[in-house]
Amino acid sequence: MTRFPDTWAFRSPRARLAIWFGWLCLVALFVYCWQVMTANTIWMFIWDAPRQAADIGERMFPPRLSYLPELLIPLWDTLNMATLGTLLGVILAVPIAFLAARNTSPSVLILRPIALFIIVASRSINSLIWALLLVAILGPGLLAGIIAIGLRSIGFIGKLLYEAIEETDIRQIEAVTATGACPAQVLNYGIIPQILPAFWGITVFRWDINIRESAILGLVGAGGLGLKLQASLNVLAWPQVTMILVVILATVVLSEWISAKVRQAII
Amino acid sequence: MLTLTNLTKTYRTGDKALADVSLTFPKGQVVGLIGPSGAGKSTLIRCINRLVEPTSGKITLSGTELTGLPPRALRQQRRRIGMIFQEYALVERLTVMENVLSGRLGYVSFLQSFTRRFPPADIERAYRLLDRVGLMEQADKRADALSGGQRQRVGIARALSQEPELLLVDEPTASLDPKTSRQIMRLLIEICAERSLPAIVNIHDVPLAQQFMQRIIGLRAGRVVFDGPPEALTESVLTTIYGAEDWTAMRKDGEADRAAEAEAVARLAALTA
């Protein structure tokens, strides 16, 4: 009769040692970072913090409801900025996504890296920075905001969309190719039906994010609610600030609800 | 008539999928291609309509050489070759009708196909084919709402809507249950007979191949090791194709399967009665 071992270990001793050492390094790093962080802290401010927070809180409450009518037009501007910016982003991102996806890119060696670079560049710059640049170039106003939102959206939509394109089922595409379809028809019949749900999901998700982002773009002069926020902060009109925050919160909750509904409907 | 001359395919990884295959397929013949996994059955079929680019050799379909054709001419030739896939390969999110009409893509302009405005003759043909495969009622359903057997019927209708001169069939029954497999094979054979359409069928179910095919080609490691009528497929031939195995036992297993299936059907009938 053969004897079989009655012990079995999930990891080799070597792997266990490596994992233990990894955790040790992480703890050491944490301790070091804690020291760096506390070295430059003025503790007096920290002890004071609860009192300061309570003070501002007191001044912020109650929100000034009579300020609401004045916010409606900036709110409309904010929504338009988010929607038009998303639209611009989608229009620019779709061709870039097809250039970036390995299975649809016409030239993997040249165009694909360019498309990937555009996606990375757009993603690495925050919309607030885009807006700052564009306000300097185009002057303050909604247009700068729309373009900033659009440029930032390219990376997000482009990246998620090109991943969706790369995950398409090759057999469905092969089947359409085998009928003698031309490349545009293969795209139309084989690829687009497969990525359409992902496309709508990504677009609505980005629109939802853009509403949140466009609410603050006014801080750098790109119009919308942020402009009001900045004006109120400058004159220390705290009840107005609270009112603006309440409006932003309500808008975001609403947009999140819409985007959840839309995504539910298409999946 | 389809002729393959010294067809060879070596993949970039160095795997030799096909080595010097020469075969002739006369008009109206239904040929079964059998062999173990990795023998090159799928590659052989895909070389014919150049979904896989052959490394060397020649493919001629009734006088036209397919190898070396530029993209546009290749697309025109692909229209003459219908293909039916393992696991159906329908475009899941399109309707049954769109899937069947997609067989006409090679004949219509991009604009026509984009707006889904196909010529009346194409639409009439599509309905006729859906009726032939028994799916008239499902025309406007989405392909992913159908069962496996129904999807493969749509696959057949799509291939036929090309009005092909040759059918390439890649493991048509691999993801179907035994009963549906037989129904699908029977349908395929009937349709080929109706139109005297030649077909090359990849199949790894040997009893099924013997039951339905007029001629069987055995592939092993990219080479043709058997070419003859199904009756000539003896145990020693099967051993050359697949390696040693108890073939009589496997055939008995097949019979046992069929007996079990009949029994299950009877039990179901009793339940519903």
Looking at the DSSP bridge assignments, the partners of residue B170 are B202
Interface ipTM: 0.85
Q: Say yes or no for a CB contact (<8 Å) between B103 and A193.
A: no
- Multiple choice CATH, B2-243, 2.60.40.420, 3.40.50.720, 3.40.50.2300, 3.40.50.300: 3.40.50.300
Nearest by Cα to B171 from B142, B200, B150: B200
Residue to mutate among A173, A174, A179, with most B CBs inside 10 A, is A179
Q: What local confidence, expressed as pLDDT, does residue B268 receive?
A: 67
Strands B56-61, B2-10: pairing is: antiparallel
Peptide bond between residue B120 and the one before it cis (omega within 30 degrees of 0): no
Q: Among B45, B79, B90, B105, which would you mutate to test the A interface (most chain A Cβ atoms within 10 Å of its Cβ)?
A: B105
Q: How confident is the model at residue B271 (pLDDT cuts 50, 70, 90)?
A: low
Q: Report CB contact under 8 Å: B110, A174.
A: no
Contact (CB, 8 A) for B241 and B60: no
Q: What is the pLDDT of residue A66?
A: 81
List C-alpha distances in Å: A201 to A94, A166, A193. 14, 17, 14
Q: Quick one: which of A103, A115, A91 has its CA closest to A191?
A: A103
Mean pLDDT of B240-254: 67
Chain A positions contacting chain B at CB under 8 Å are 169, 171-172, 174-182, 184-185, 188-190, 193-194, 196-197
Closest to B146 (Cα-Cα) out of B224, B216, B212, B92: B92
Residue A72 predicted with pLDDT over 60? yes
For B165-186, give one letter per residue: b (16+ CB within 10 A) or e. bbbbbbbbbeebebebbbbbbe
Q: Cβ separation of B94 and A177 shorter than 8 Å?
A: no
Q: From CA A62, how far away is CA A65, in angstroms rounded? A: 9
Chain A partners within 8 Å of B155 (Cβ):
175
pLDDT in tens, A37-55: 888 888 888 888 888 888 8
Q: pLDDT tens across B218-239, in order? A: 998 889 999 999 888 888 888 8
Domains defined for chain A, CATH in brackets: 68-266 (1.10.3720.10)
Q: Which residue in chain B has the smallest CA separation from A193?
A: B93
- How far from A256 is each of A90, A189, A204, CA to CA, in Å? 19, 32, 9
Higher pLDDT, A213 or B247: A213
Average pLDDT for A57-83: 85
* Residue B115 pLDDT: 93
* Average pLDDT of span B111-138: 93
* Contact residues on chain B for A199, CB-CB shorter than 8 A: none
The tens digit of pLDDT for each residue in B32-63 reads 999 888 888 889 999 999 998 999 999 999 88
Task: Quote the CA–CA distance of B131 and B133 in Å, as a whole number.
Answer: 5
Domain ranges of chain B: 2-243, 244-273
| Per-residue pLDDT reduced to its tens digit, A191-209 | 999 999 899 989 998 998 9
Residue B253 has what pLDDT? Answer: 59
Exposure letters A206-239 (e unless 16+ CB within 10 A, then b) = bbbbbbbbbbbbbbbbbbbbbbbbeebeeeebbb
Nearest CA among A266, A249, A113 for reference residue A193:
A266
Banded pLDDT at B146 (limits 50, 70, 90)? very high
Sheet order of strands, B64-65 included: B16-25, B2-10, B56-61, B64-65
